Amino acid sequence: MVEDQFIEANNLRIMLEVAGYRVCSIARSVDIALDILDTEEPDLVLLDIFLKGDKTGIDLAPVLKQRNIPFIYLSANSDKKTFAMAKQTAPYGFLVKPFREKDVLAMLDIAADLHSEHLLLARAAVVQKSPVETKRNAPDSFGMAGKSAGLRETTRLIQIAAAAESPVLILGESGTGKELVARAIHDHSARGKKPLVIVDCAALSQTLIESELFGHEKGTFTGAVDKRTGKFEQADNGTIFLDEVGEMPLE
């Protein structure tokens, strides 16, 4: 927090800590904030505009942007000129004092989601512009034909998913290209040179699902005459695509 009013800063700190946030040091001026940034790495900054000293929160904003730290303005002054200047720094939000607790918490949630999406898009852009395997990373290299808005949105989502380290759920009717999307996500990810293992879940026998996916050691059960490497282990450091995962028994 960068806030020069002690009571306001303390009340806000208590509010955030009760909500489960960890609050870093509180700065009363831009100079103090700069000193703190040399020793602490906040995930987000709540930034008052008018502070102690001759520098404002708007002066601190470019430093935060350079360090890729998102920020939300807090200000009792919401006149057009101040708001226009603040808006030019591309904050993640602007709260006018006095504000309600639920407004602050909602703004923090929105800012966190926005920042996560921006990071994923930035990582996707790096992958897209990589000089290595330029042809594979080209916009038209997903293997899908068409120029519709829906297809453009699909390719945008593929780039975001490829840059992420999260499981991805692909939905669509039969024949719409779910496996093609899965391959595109894999090929454009950091795992692109590792295995892509495709499992047809609808074809798995209920009694063999566990063994097929996770493997087994020799002699684990009757009929286990050899060691079997499961699909997940085969896909180690790569991608496993569970095709028609909804067809598997819940158990």
Could you tell me which residue, 26 or 100, shows the higher pLDDT?
A: 26
Task: Encode pLDDT of 121-159 as tens digits.
Answer: 666 655 555 544 434 444 444 667 777 888 888 888 888
Indicate the burial class of 8 (C-beta count within 10 angstroms; 0-12, 13-18, 19 or more): middle
Per cent of the chain over pLDDT 70 is: 88
Q: Is the pLDDT of residue 46 over 80?
A: yes
Give the pLDDT of residue 199: 93
Q: 168-247: which CATH number, 3.40.430.10, 3.40.50.300, 1.20.1530.20, 3.40.630.10?
A: 3.40.50.300
Give the pLDDT of residue 68: 87
Highest-confidence range of 29-33, 75-79, 171-175, by mean pLDDT?
29-33
Q: Where are the domains positioned within the chain?
A: 6-100, 168-247
Task: Encode pLDDT of 191-232 as tens digits.
Answer: 888 999 999 998 888 888 888 899 888 777 666 668 888 999
